[in-house]
Amino acid sequence: MSNSKNYDVLIIGSGGAGLSLALRLADYSVRVAVLSKFALTAGSTYYAQGGISAVFDADDSIESHIDDTLDAGAGLCNPDIVRLTVTHGKKSINWLREQGVVFTEEQTADGEIKLHLNREGGHSHRRIVHTADATGKAVSLSLIERAQEHTNITLLEHHNVVELITDKTDKRVVGAYVLDSKQQQVNTITARVVVLATGGASKVYLYSTNPQSATGDGIALAWRAGCQISNMEFMQFHPTCLYHPHAQSFLISEAVRGEGGKLILPDGSPFMHKFDARAELAPRDIVARAIDHEIKKRGIDCVYLDISHKSEAFIREHFPTIYETCLKFDIDITKQPIPVVPAAHYTCGGVLTDSYARTNITNLYAIGEVASTGLHGANRMASNSLLECLVFAERASEDILQKLAAIAPAAAIPDWDESQVIDSDEEVVVSHNWHELRRFMWDYVGIVRTDKRLDRAMNRVDLLKKEIAEYYAHFRVTSDLLELRNLVIVAELIIRCAKQRKESRGLHYTLDYPETDDSQPPQNTVLTP
């Protein structure tokens, strides 16, 4: 029995990028399906605290935002892409407000009501538009509500893509095989256009600020389909994740440092001034390495972030989510410093795209964290990520709407064949390999690397790939197995990119080549299947 469905556009991922694109297309009578691996709110957008960078302040400028982004990107940003993205900032914020997103406002001395702007690391001005300290939640819920109301959008929760389907004759994508996790069956979905909006890959590491869904699915799917992948060595580690045995992946927003929070050692002494003149407001790679250095040098478990010098009213107003969450773990941030450690946070590389989010596979697009657009270079500046989602969703929609009518529907596609496989009798293989992978990636391919560590990691990846391939060939697919299969590919791509870069730049720091190579123009790392 056929389990085939057909849409004009298939969007894989239900975060800020995917839903923004769906809404922009659906208003033009395009039939859109949006797949969510888990619940619609399970992606990284929902958990984003800080906000969205855009120039609103009279003292700020587009040029300043561009300069800050280029500086953070350590020579690898595409200046044209940076300018394109930054100049769309105000327009993107206004579009979100039209969708019902309510941002935090303030009243000026002369009675004017305007957006309240935070400042975060790497930014020379206040330009972070936010909804208290839960911006992503506000954006996610508003976009979900709008999408649920739209008759041209079909939202499919608990659907995990097994493989993209490509027409080998003309190298174009025509759909995907998709596991319905509730029904435990693989369906065929065909579409004229497929868009990857699956987010990042930070769960390849043992410690991460990301939700469980961030397993690099889109990057692995694109790689197997024949897409070019770029700059995977640049995995961003957020400097401040809550350190507590019962707290899982809770991020302490950059805005805490932006509002005067100080990083201190257990004895109360500050240390960031020793690493960078900007101290706590240095870019994330510098702050994360500084914390990692102090932890390893002193043999301590964590450092502390102290905002308690601010008034209780200020803290509770600006950081209600952080305040309430920490209080659950008996940490009163109005009186105590917050124990913090770095954790994997953002994938700066990904599927290589152009300025319209097109990949090198015809009719396959990639938007949001899954993509490598040229915006972030060697290090993403704080709060440029949601901006990128919004801008490239708009860019992709323009290109798709222009060409959609001319795209011929795919020929008949055979159903997924699982006649030669059985249900697994040893799920422990999946859980064991998952843990082993994330542990050695943390130990060998983390904040500080060496050639020897990378070689060790690659040896283990090669062994795991063989085990996982054998397991995949014999047993029916599950969501856990699909994630593991994707994670091991992501790990390999990170290591391969890291091994190619014989210098330290941005987020990639190696003890074997501790200096940045300025003897030649900086080069992006590009891998071709």
- First-residue to last-residue Cα distance in the chain: 34
DSSP 337: P
Distance CA(507)–CA(514), nearest Å, equals: 12
In the structure encoding, which two tokens stand for residue 421, read together?
Answer: 């496989």
What is the CA 240 to chain-centroid distance, rounded?
Answer: 17
Residues forming beta bridges with residue 115, ordered by sequence position: 105
Element (DSSP H or E) covering residue 398: helix 385-403
- Identify whether 496 is a catalytic site residue: no
SS (H, E, C) 13-36: CCCHHHHHHHHHHHCCCCCEEEEE
Burial class (CB in 10 A: 0-12, 13-18, 19+), 406: exposed
In the structure encoding, which two tokens stand for residue 110, read together?
Answer: 């002369």
Contact at 8 Å (CB) between 209 and 241? yes
Of 89, 204, 69, 211, nearest to 140 (Cα)? Answer: 211
CA 261 to each of CA 121, 255, 300, 338: distance values in angstroms, whole numbers, following the listed order: 12, 8, 20, 10
Q: Where are the extended beta strands (E) located within 303-384?
A: 303-306, 338-347, 350-352, 364-366, 371-372
DSSP 456: H
Backbone phi and psi for residue 12, each to the nearest 5 degrees, phi listed first? -100, 100
Residue 413 neighbours by CB under 8 Å, 6+ apart: 4, 165, 174, 175, 188, 190
Element (DSSP H or E) covering residue 163: strand 159-167
Residue 351 neighbours by CB under 8 Å, 6+ apart: 196, 218, 219, 222, 227, 228, 229, 230, 359, 366, 370, 371, 372
Catalytic residue chosen out of the listed positions 172, 284, 485, 505: 284
Catalytic residues, by residue number, are: 284
